[in-house]
A and B are shown apart, each in its own frame.
Chain A
Amino acid sequence: MNKELYDLIIIGAGPAGMTAGIYAARYRLRALLFGEMVGGMAAFAHKICNFPGFDSISGMELAQKLSEQVSALGVEVKADRVIAIAKNDLFEVRTSGGTCYSRAVILATGSERKKLNLDNEDSFLGRGLSYCATCDAPFYRNKIAGVVGGSDAALTAALLLSEFASKVHIIYRKDSFFRPKPAWVEQVNANNKIEPIFNTNVTSFIGDEMLEAVQLNNRDELKLDGLFIEIGSVPNTELAVGLNVVLENDHIKTDAEQKTNIPKAFAAGDVTTTPFRQIVVAAGQGAVAAHSAYRSIQEDYDRPSH
């Protein structure tokens, strides 16, 4: 790994990080982007119908387009895991492939899927339990599927599953869907295969080699061949915490210029205290963060030398 000095290191390859990369390239900043999952969580979406410019696009396709655009602009993208970031004069970014340095950083680390945290959860992964409907729905053709959750993600997962499964149960702990977009609710209600079960929790998994059923808290066990968990996510703030970046409500606190409390450390996307966790918002924040990083670096050059 190069010990060379970068102007900007971006951590995260989702819409926020990738957009920051696009802007950084066009500002002719010497930039390096670390990301383990190109496209980020957006890549897992079945259908995205609210990203401006596209009537409907799959998450995978959007991830592909982002990847191609960033690549064409010549941004250096690496899949190494970033272990820690420290700041002295410069930012020291330690990764699984070595250490590198930069004048500024953008944290666009997004969030991670929440698990149910039930016994045996890990052992059923890939044996009937999944956190990715877009990956695994086709394996449940003519089978019975369940989705845990009540958000847009859960609704769209159920709609996707209904294209393959014979029946889809949505199991949700509240008494109605959580701030759903009316468009999705309409489709779910009109779909004969989908059956919502409200005010209910999964309490345990039942099965031998493969998942066979789940135990519910307030009724008989439910026979299922596959269960998909869509209960939200947890922000990835480890690196921020290590850098002494201030959090608010577990997310990175930023201002309108995507600045954190640490000079020249910026943040964008779902990891921040963003008012609205959407792809387009993440992309917008990535652009602002790159712009702010560019300006902060320019200010250094503009300052008269002593």
Chain B
Amino acid sequence: MDGSVIHVTDDNFDETVLKSEMPVLLDFSAEWCAPCKMLAPILKDLAAEYQDRMIVAHGDTDDCPRAATGYRITAVPTLIIFKNGEEVERLIGLRSKQALESAIDAII
């Protein structure tokens, strides 16, 4: 793992998120969404910080519409933490880096 944010699409969703051995923090976001853009640098920091313990991934709802519908995404950004292919935590809306670290540390 090189500690960067992985781009998720419907095509690689299974392999990247559901079949991952490490927990995955997946950010569902959208082009038109300001808070999503604000989250981007935070995700980059988190990807580096949790390099060997968690994967940080980003999915634009236009690139993974099936996943977005499947996980009932009606607000962006929505961050879901997956463990062994299952959703274990869902955070909706922009959060501070500190708040995300707390949520992640409680789970992984």
User: B-contacting residues of A (Cβ < 8 Å)?
Assistant: 36-39, 43-44, 59-60, 63-64, 79-81, 96, 125-128, 130-132, 134-136, 138-139, 209-210, 226
Contact = CB atoms under 8 A, between A and B. Distances in A.
Given A37-B38, A126-B90, A135-B34, 12 more contacts: A37-B94, A38-B38, A43-B38, A59-B34, A63-B34, A63-B38, A125-B75, A135-B32, A135-B35, A135-B75, A135-B76, A210-B74
B42 A125 contact: no
Interface string B29-51: 01011111110011001000000
A60 B37 contact: yes
Contacts, number: 82
A128 B75 CA distance: 8
Interface in B84-108: 90, 92-94, 96-98
Rank and list the top 8 A-B pairs by shortest CB-CB distance, nearest first.
A126-B92, A126-B75, A43-B34, A96-B98, A60-B34, A135-B33, A139-B74, A36-B96
Nearest to A136: B75
Contacts of B41: 79
Contacts of A125: 75, 92-93
A79 B75 contact: no
28 contacts: A39-B34, A39-B38, A44-B34, A44-B35, A59-B34, A60-B33, A60-B34, A60-B37, A64-B37, A79-B41, A79-B45, A80-B97, A81-B98, A96-B97, A125-B92, A125-B93, A126-B74, A126-B78, A126-B90, A126-B93, A127-B72, A131-B93, A134-B33, A135-B36, A138-B30, A138-B32, A139-B74, A139-B75
Contacts of A226: 74
A192 to B, nearest CB: 24
Interface string B5-37: 000000000000000000000000010111111
Interface of B: 30, 32-38, 41-42, 45, 72-78, 90, 92-94, 96-98
A46 to B, nearest CB: 10
Contact of A37 (B32, B35, B73, B98): B35
Contacts of B78: 126
B74 A127 contact: yes
Contacts of B94: 36-37
Contacts of A138: 30, 32
Contacts of B93: 125-126, 131-132
A83 to B, nearest CB: 9
Contacts of B36: 135
A63 B41 CA distance: 14
A130 B73 CA distance: 12
A210 B93 CA distance: 17
B37 A79 contact: no
Contacts of A136: 74-76
B96 A79 contact: yes
A128 B74 contact: yes
Given A126-B75, A127-B74, A135-B75, A63 B96 contact: no
A94 B74 CA distance: 36
- Find the residue from A38, A130, A135, A209 having the highest chain B CB count within 10 A: A135
